[in-house]
Every structure is written in structure tokens, then in C-alpha cells.
Amino acid sequence: DDIREAGTYKSERIITTPQATAIGVAGSSGKILNFCANNYLGLSANNDVINYGKKALDEYGAGLSSVRFICGTQDIHKQLEDKLSKFHQREDTILYASCFDANAGIFEAVLTPEDAVFSDELNHASIIDGIRLCKAKKARYLHRNMADLEEKLRTTDARIKMIVTDGVFSMDGNVAPLPEIFELADRYGAVTFVDDCHATGFFGRTGRGTEEFYGMLGRCDIINSTLGKALGGAAGGYTTGPRELVDLLRQKSRPYLFSNSLPPPVVASASKVIDMLMESSELTAKVQSNTRRFREAMTKAGFTISGMDHPISPVMLGDARLASNFADEMLKRGIYVIGFSYPVVPKGKARIRVQLSAAHSEEEIDRAVAAFIEVGKKLGVVS
């Protein structure tokens, strides 16, 4: 009851169609425009991706009923790992059931009590939980604050120093200052780790993520990312980096050793998306142009949009109940968005997190902006 009274209770709306820009929602008539999915490239219901997954279902079965090292590795698993390595320009890649598992499985396997890990205070919950599992010394630095990070690096005598950051922070749409992080890593002999879940496939000129956004492709030591957002949207995560690291994770990473292999249709779907990205950057360019269109129109209308030219475009409202009511009003107008409030974001910083997709048309974006303006005036957010 306290959660409901605070306006932070999270209800689950029921979708009755495949994930797409226009979806069916239980209790609503007609199709609703979806502006809150991680479906950045619009490929979750792409026919070519679906058919590739169906083909794998027929050829390889529904699942492996095994972990990888017993009898759970098919040739398609190795092929996808190889494709991801080439896409990221890394030596090797290891697949997990999710990026949450990838983050849970790396720090404990790699770091010892003689080591230290330095984590941005707003890193994803999976990073926080993964770091808790390891025995290294732990330090949180202020969000994107390089002076604070340097002070913590300067005062440690750890054997391995690992700097850990999200590439793009999922609640705010802002980007880690990788050039400064890499500079500090060089100065203090630290290893760099980036979780690029909200960048892989669509951020940077060819979709290779936060490194490419800064023109520093190949600079990060370790990248963790997901297959469950831009890369088909089904499930799965991975770590990509030095071959020696991946070999170690195959031997010691508990989520890898004790979780079922990714199902063949999921592997095939992601593999098809990687093929598409290697052939063309058209979808990456489209989501970026859609992002500019939405952000510019909303800013002109008087809304405060957080973040940095990223498809995650949070509409800042402040009050938790206002954010929840705003989302309900948007649904009445055929726009599916969700209000985010504490504990997902800090108190007093509730927002509607809008996410753009390459599949959105300009007309759909304009319709969403018009609905935001109408509701914003009704609720006193804009004049």
C-alpha cells in the first residue's frame, strides 16, 4: 500500500502482439504506438530474422538441455561468438543467457582480494550485483566525475585496477566519458570495462557502440553487451575481449558453467542481425535521425530532455505520481510510454523514458510529440 500511495507501484501492461512500433495492448482498442522498447533497430519482429530463427528451430531443436561444457555447444553457438568478435574487432567472445549473467560472471572470476574495482555510481544493477560477488576492494566514483575517479585510482596499490562503467546509462541516455577514462587507465595502469548494452548495434557510425561514438574503436579492454535489445531482442548476452580472458571465463564463470546454453532460435536470430549490420549501416543511421527529430521537436515544445543525442530520450517530470499519470494519459491517446520513478531513478527525478527505433516513421514520431504536448498542457508541464 505504501508503494501505491507513493506513486511508485509498477504495473505490467499486457501486450497481445509481437514487439513492434505498433502493438496491441490488453484493454486498449486498435494498435498503440510503442515508444518504450529496447527494440532500437526495429528487428524484434523482422521477417528475415524470424525466418532465420524458425529455420534453426527446425534444424537444431528448441534447446540443448545442457550447459555448454557438457553437451550444449552447437556449431551455431561458435559461429555467433566468432561473428561478435569480428563485429567488435576483438579476439574472442563468450555467450551467456543474458548480459545480467555476463556481468554477474566476470568480476568474481577475474578479480582477487589483491585487486580493486572502480565503478560509476549509476552503473546498471547487474554490474553492482556482479561486483558484490567478487572479493576485490570496491570503490564507487561520482557519476562521470573524472576527478573523483582519479583520486581513487591515485590512492590504491591494488595489483589489478579495473575501471567499470556503462557505455550509455540507461535511465538518463548520457554517455560515459571514455576518452578521459582511457587516459586515466593509461596513467594508472588500469583495465577498462564497458557495459555497452544500450549502444551495441545502433550507437556510433556503424553501430559498434560507445567506443565508435568517440572514434576509439578497439580501445576498451573488455566489453559486455546483450543480444536482447538491438540485436534481435530475444535474449542472451556476452563478453568480448582478449582470448586469454574468454578462456578463463569458460573455466571459472559460474553463470556460464551452470546455465543452459542459449536456445538455437535465439542464437540464429542474433546471428542474422549481425550479418545485417556487417552489410549495411542503414538502420543505424535511421535510428539516429529519428532521435534528432524527436529531441529537437520536444525541446522546442518546452520539455526538458535528458541525455546526449541518444535514442534513450528521458522526458524529465520530477514527480513520481505526475510521471505515472502522464503515461496513463499518453496511453489514452494511443502512445505507449512508461513513467520511471524511485527506486529505478533518484527521488525527485521521475521521468517518461522515451526510446526511439529505426522502425518508427516520421509521422509516428510527430504523432507522439503532439500527444506529449497535449498531455503536457493538460497536466501543467508545458504552456
Residues 18 and 167 in one domain: no
**Helix, strand, coil abundance in the chain, percent, nearest 5:** 40, 15, 40
Residues 115 and 254 in one domain: yes
Residues 167 and 294 in one domain: no
The domain spanning residue 326 has which CATH number?
3.90.1150.10
Residues 136 and 179 in one domain: yes
Residues spanned by the domain of 374: 1-45+281-379
First vs last C-alpha separation in the chain: 34
**Per-residue pLDDT averaged across 55-69, rounded?**
98
**pLDDT tens digit sequence for 128-172:** 999 999 999 999 999 999 999 999 999 999 999 999 999 999 999
Instruction: Among 255, 279, 303, give the residue marking a domain's end.
Output: 279
Residues 201 and 222 in one domain: yes
Residues 105 and 175 in one domain: yes
Q: Which residues have a catalytic role annotated?
A: 170, 198, 229
Residues 257 and 286 in one domain: no
- Eight-state DSSP code of residue 209: -
Instruction: Among 219, 253, 279, give the residue marking a domain's end.
Output: 279
Give the separation between CA 167 and CA 268, rounded to whole angstroms.
26
* C-beta separation of 231 from 159 below 8 A: no
**pLDDT tens digit sequence for 217-267:** 999 999 999 999 999 999 999 999 999 999 999 999 999 999 999 999 999
Q: Where are the beta strands (DSSP E) in the chain?
A: 22-23, 32-34, 92-96, 116-120, 137-141, 161-166, 191-195, 222-226, 237-241, 312-318, 335-336, 339-340, 350-355
- The number of distinct structural domains making up the chain is 2
* Per-residue model confidence (pLDDT) at position 346: 87
* Per-residue model confidence (pLDDT) at position 330: 97
* C-beta separation of 129 from 102 below 8 A: no
Instruction: Among 220, 249, 279, give the residue marking a domain's end.
Output: 279
**pLDDT tens digit sequence for 258-299:** 999 999 999 999 999 999 999 999 999 999 999 999 999 999
Residues 132 and 80 in one domain: yes
Residues 92 and 230 in one domain: yes
pTM of the predicted protein model: 0.94
Residues 250 and 368 in one domain: no
The domain spanning residue 148 has which CATH number?
3.40.640.10
Residues 134 and 263 in one domain: yes
Give the separation between CA 257 and CA 241, rounded to whole angstroms.
19
- Residue matched to cell numbers 524470424: 50
Residues 108 and 223 in one domain: yes
DSSP 332-345: HTTEE--EE-TTTS
3-state secondary structure of 319: coil
* Per-residue model confidence (pLDDT) at position 10: 73
**Per-residue pLDDT averaged across 331-352, rounded?**
92
